[in-house]
Structure 1
Amino acid sequence: MEKEKKISPEQSNQISRRKFIAQTGMAAAAFTILPSGLYGLNRRSPSDKLNIAVVGIGGKGNSDARACAGENLVAFCDVDETMNPQLKIDFPNAVFYKDYRVMLEKQKDIDAVVISTPDHTHAIIAMAAMKAGKHVFVQKPLTHTIYEARRLAEVAKEKNLVTQMGNQGHAGEEARLLNEWIADGAIGDINEVHVWTNRPIWPQGELKRPTETPDVPSTLDWDLFLGPAPLRPYHPDIHPFNWRGFWDYGTGALGDMGAHFIDQPFWALDLGHPLTVQASSTKFNEDYYPLSSMVTYQFPARGNKPPVKLVWYDGGLMPPRPEELEPGRKMGDDGGGVLFYGSQGKIMHGTYGTGVRLIPETKMQEYVRPEKTIPRSPGIQLEWIEAIKKGSKSTTDFSYSGKLTEVMLLGNIAIRMQDKNTVLEWDPVKMEITNLPEANPFMHVQYRNGWSLE
């Protein structure tokens, strides 16, 4: 029989400390995992799982749903029954609906709703969900019209709901580096920004709307797809993807990618609302956005920050190449880019804020980077989920993304009004173009009978 080992006083103290830490750690864990009721109406225990519904399950809806897979995906909704069968297989407990209104009425266990439908239905679905007390995540662009963006932000605030727009670049590491470098004065005072994208990658321009009237697939509810938009015949050139190029359903290249590209200077420079906006473009018509456009915004001084001119380019247009950029080096990346012009240099990055660098590269190598001060994000969807559980705000909640969306959509109004040969003057309080009243009806659209935002 093995002899009993003697324990020294020092060893006894070490064992006692380990035992104490283990016991107190277990006690702390017991108090960390609390029933959600103890967190109050606007907070939940981190151990609770949210019941999430996803409306629009193709494309970004698929990735948004899968990003929320750590919670309970309890309902899927899509006007097209054939959309994304694999998602339904992977989450067999989620109930499928065609009509979001039926889903909200029948399924009372939903805590939060993810919306990844065509642009023209974002607002009506988000509003219905918020009126039902649900937290909402809406894919970019937040809305189809400026008025819708304003109303969603107001109602989200009134109801104290956690909201988020799905512009994933805002959650990225390099977006935070950009903010920190600019705040550090890496290139001095910034008074000019150029932003460009490779979009559109769908049909736009002076095209004729499809005239054929093929049968609506039996699996598609075309009336629900149209929602508040004018009643028009079904055509596969519209659903499931090319709707982006139509005024009735999409927001064009600017609405699609401005939420990623304009977001970076909007955040880093605290731009807010512009004073003026003007645009030029290739030809377009009452159905389709132009193939290419250029939009110029003038933003006022903000505190000690100087006024900023921001120029947007799409459809293959790009800004002049900066002289500091090394020969052969690509501007931005294949998707587009952003150039910041400062009093002491320039910063360039690609899509979603990636590849952020001072230029030329020699200046980047000389730069002593500041400490990281902005909280890092677990991802655009997970950040929203975390905020719901903590009862806090997410970084692109509607108070932020609503203003960003208004700025983007002002550019589309300027495109429509370019033949007036007038620089549009914007009053954000009145939500009006003050010097061209005929532009103001485009702040919103006339909904089809039977559809209402409120």
Structure 2
Amino acid sequence: MDESTKSPGPGEPLWSRRKFLGASATAAAGLMVVPRHVVGATQKKKAPSDTLNIACVGVGGMGFSDTRGVRSENIVALCDVDDEMVANLLRSEDLEPAEKAMYDKAAKYRDFRRMLEKEKGIDAITVTTPDHNHAVIAMAAIKLGKHVYVQKPLTHTVKEARLLAQAAKEAKVVTQMGNQGHAGEGARLICEWIWDGAIGDVFEAHCWTDRPIWPQGVDAPKEIPSVPSTLDWDVWLGPAPFRPYHPAYHPFKWRGLWDFGTGALGDMGAHIMDQPFWALKLKSPISVQASSTVFTKDYAPRAEVVTYEFAAREGMVPLTLTWWDGGLMPPRPAELEPGRMMGDEGGGCLFRGTKGLLMCSTYGENPRLIPETWMQEYKRPEKTIPRSPGIREEWIEAIKKGTKSTSDFSYSGPLTETMLLANVAVRLKDKNMKLLWDGEKMEFTNLPEANELLHFPYRPGWSL
């Protein structure tokens, strides 16, 4: 068999040795920092010293978008446990010629650990994998001083979110969670209007989504099919408990499983709960309680309602925030015009204050005061929050300028912690009690067994 057609072993680059050496040489050349004046850099052509060397971990699904979203830089490595995901990227008709050439030259890996070991010149990485692998990959990169962009939700467990935020702060690396709505105009308008007092003191908020759009509330399949030759199932499992491969898990449909995903709230909370979290200056809640449809030992429920309470903070009054998913929605406010949709088809957010209401769509888009006649009368305040070039572009810019991105782990860590407390409350709903939370100590104070669900034991060989 020709070496270029051999199937790689676990953790090995996907290309032949000849191609790998060629790609490594190309990547190594890209590591040379050449002064701007030497190459005569202009606004039309960046000097190598202006370009980051980025490795992308997970290139299928949302990883396709995240990889292409950083193509302004030098992508030196592509890592995915499934060869088909890399192949799909490389044969996409959406690629520009220079972009495809860059991906072709990039070193290819299945195992991120092998990639980080061999690719010494990486400046930053993107992480777009199933939720259960986010923390171990991001932490490995942070420990090496790499800047990190992690797709939402930031982590799989509450403890992982806390530890990642702490590690990023200590390492002084630039981080960002991939909740793209946070970079949008709508999110900024919501903050500016609420801080302007447009609806008075906000004491109630509701967030809802049409998710899940994948299986939940079911039992895991019992069949044990063969693992595709293109997939490294062991690395895909990462720190999660072992279970046999099944196409019901990979690709995409892993989100509803407790072992791999974080359910509908973990998927969309980073977008929708982000709006009240930022605008209302939220940190840790003081309590959480939940109700839901049936869930199983393997899968989250198909629908749930979760209620959080937050104490007064930074000039803000106490708040009750309620999350709805699975098609459930909050009561329609009397102030909303008949026939007018609440949010959009995917979900939305509603703020109620002492002077009125504000409503927005799924990603913070199209914020409006309710009713529309009030919106038309409202004198909008000056725009005071810096506008973002985009969630990925903002991260890249912050790395180059040595500044801070707006959804870095100091912000997205606490947001993720708050979101994931809901999954603990759902799993313990039959205790028939409101769970009291001490955010500083990271513990439930009235039900010790709930603290066991803040993290899970990793498989042997895996750690943070």
Same fold flag (TM > 0.5): yes
Number of equivalent positions: 413
Match of 1:329 among 332, 340, 346: 340
Query: What's the offset of the Cα at 1:47?
Result: 5.8
Change in 2 beyond 3 A, CA 1:185/1:107: same
Mapping 1:296-445, distance limit 5 Å: 296-445=307-456
1:262 is the counterpart of 2:264: no
- What code does the residue aligned with 1:310 have? L
Change in 2 beyond 3 A, CA 1:174/1:153: same
- What code does the residue aligned with 1:318 have? M
Mapping 1:25-424, distance limit 5 Å: 33=36, 48-89=50-91, 90=100, 91-205=103-217, 207-424=218-435
- What code does the residue aligned with 2:141 have? A
Structure 2 alignment gaps of length 5 or more = 1-34, 39-45, 92-99
Query: What's the offset of the Cα at 1:34?
Result: 7.2
Any idea what the Cα deviations from partners look like across 1:242-272, whole Å, max 9, x if unmatched? Answer: 1000000000001110000000000000011
The answer (yes or no) to whether the contact 1:46–1:390 under 8 Å persists in 2 is: no
The answer (yes or no) to whether the contact 1:261–1:338 under 8 Å persists in 2 is: yes
- Aligned-partner SS, 1:352: coil
Query: In structure 2, what is the Cα distance between the partners aligned to 1:182 and 1:69?
Result: 36
Query: In structure 1, what is the Cα distance between the partners aligned to 2:129 and 2:433?
Result: 34
- Aligned-partner SS, 1:339: strand
Query: What's the offset of the Cα at 1:142?
Result: 0.3
The answer (yes or no) to whether the contact 2:53–2:122 under 8 Å persists in 1 is: yes
Query: In structure 1, what is the Cα distance between the partners aligned to 2:410 and 2:339?
Result: 41
Query: In structure 2, what is the Cα distance between the partners aligned to 1:425 and 1:356?
Result: 32
Query: What's the offset of the Cα at 1:88?
Result: 2.9
Query: What's the offset of the Cα at 1:69?
Result: 0.7
Query: What's the offset of the Cα at 1:95?
Result: 1.1
Query: In structure 2, what is the Cα distance between the partners aligned to 1:372 and 1:213?
Result: 57
- What code does the residue aligned with 1:293 have? E
Query: In structure 2, what is the Cα distance between the partners aligned to 1:114 and 1:34?
Result: 30
- What code does the residue aligned with 2:77 have? A
TM-score, with structure 2 as normaliser: 0.87
The answer (yes or no) to whether the contact 1:140–1:165 under 8 Å persists in 2 is: yes
Query: What's the offset of the Cα at 1:109?
Result: 1.2
Partner of 2:42: none
- Aligned-partner SS, 2:85: coil
Query: In structure 2, what is the Cα distance between the partners aligned to 1:266 and 1:34?
Result: 45
Query: What's the offset of the Cα at 1:84?
Result: 4.3
- What code does the residue aligned with 2:367 have? V
The answer (yes or no) to whether the contact 1:181–1:369 under 8 Å persists in 2 is: yes
Structure 1 alignment gaps of length 5 or more = 1-31, 36-43
- Aligned-partner SS, 2:289: strand
CA-based RMSD of the aligned residues comes to 1.4
The answer (yes or no) to whether the contact 1:46–1:389 under 8 Å persists in 2 is: no
The answer (yes or no) to whether the contact 1:88–1:94 under 8 Å persists in 2 is: no
